[in-house]
Amino acid sequence: MLEIEGLSVRYGAVEAVGNLGFTVPKGSITVLLGANGAGKSSTLNAISGLAPSRGRIALNGAELGGLPPEEIVRRGVALCPEGRRVFPSLSVADNLHLGGAVHAKGEELARRTEAELDRFPILRERYHQKAGLLSGGEQQMLAVARALMSAPRLLLLDEPSLGLAPKVVEQVFGLISGLRTQGITILLVEQNAERALEIADHGYVLQSGALVLSGSGRELAESPLIRDAYLAG
């Protein structure tokens, strides 16, 4: 579904990602692992049109590189950003509507909102509250729901479990597995490598902006490099 070839992301003199290539098969959960600063967020931001990049980024054969972010959303790619980035002074309702606003209006926007409130009943309870008053876990649910409001075929998730309590982390991973069974392809960036590899079909490991390892979720979970660097024992 997604093909990346020779991707580079530069911020001035800093090369965050260099000559990166990988694919995300349709219907898969594909995981990107790597230490802080490895270039994971830069990669997701480049796919979303939010970071300056060179190279080929193709969705079902059509080039995304150079398109404005809202057009990339319209093509079916949604980003749930690192740090959740909900709008704290806006209501849950307004946060959701902003996610769908790019291409759903009126009845379609209302239908999608209902679908997300069914998926996340806690957001229905909090519907008129300011997003900044929600717990970390609730804000993460809101950030995912906001991304889903654009009805993506490919969902990019940047560290969705970061900073959440263990019980909530489990909910988040359950949610991700559930989205895949609904036909949404997922590219997941995670610090929690162990848990991520359990649900992943395929994974890639980035080091200083370059690919150093790839394999099935199971292969990576058993690889010595991963075990030493990311997993306890």
Ligand X SMILES: Nc1ncnc2c1ncn2[C@@H]1O[C@H](COP(=O)(O)OP(=O)(O)O)[C@@H](O)[C@H]1O
Q: Does 37 bind ligand X (CB under 6 A)?
A: yes
Minimum CB–partner distance for residue 111 and ligand X (Å):
34
3-state helix, strand, coil in the chain (%, to 5): 40, 25, 35
Rounded-to-integer distance, Cα 152 and Cα 100, Å? 10
Of 173, 111, 201, the residue nearest 148 (C-alpha)? 111
Rounded-to-integer distance, Cα 11 and Cα 118, Å? 41
Q: Which is nearer to Mg ion, 50 or 93 (by Cβ)?
A: 50
Q: Could you tell me the two tokens for 12?
A: 């001035």
Q: Which is nearer to ligand X, 96 or 206 (by Cβ)?
A: 206
Residue at 123: amino acid letter: L
Q: Could you tell me the two tokens for 172?
A: 């988040």
Q: Which is nearer to ligand X, 14 or 232 (by Cβ)?
A: 14
Residues in 39-98 at the binding interface with ligand X, rule: CB under 6 A = 39-42
Of 231, 158, 162, the residue nearest 197 (C-alpha)? 231
By CB under 6 A, which span of 9-17, 89-97, 149-157, 190-198 interacts with ligand X? 9-17
Q: Which is nearer to Mg ion, 8 or 43 (by Cβ)?
A: 43
Minimum CB–partner distance for residue 13 and ligand X (Å):
9
By CB under 6 A, which span of 8-16, 52-60, 147-155, 175-183 interacts with ligand X? 8-16
* Residue with token string 């800093």: 14
Residue whose beta carbon is closest to Mg ion: 41
Q: Alpha helices of the chain — where are they, by DSSP H?
A: 40-47, 69-74, 92-100, 106-119, 121-125, 136-148, 166-181, 193-199, 217-222, 224-229
List the one residue from 29, 30, 34, 84 that touches ligand X (CB under 6 A): 34
* Residue with token string 């949604």: 78
Residues in 140-179 at the binding interface with Mg ion, rule: CB under 5 A = none
Q: Which is nearer to ligand X, 30 or 42 (by Cβ)?
A: 42
Residues in 153-182 at the binding interface with ligand X, rule: CB under 6 A = none
Minimum CB–partner distance for residue 53 and Mg ion (Å):
15
Name the binder of 37 from Mg ion, ligand X, none, CB < 5-8 A by kind.
Answer: ligand X
Rounded-to-integer distance, Cα 77 and Cα 71, Å? 9
Residues in 37-96 at the binding interface with Mg ion, rule: CB under 5 A = 40-41, 82
Binding region for ligand X (CB under 6 A): 11, 14, 16, 34, 36-42
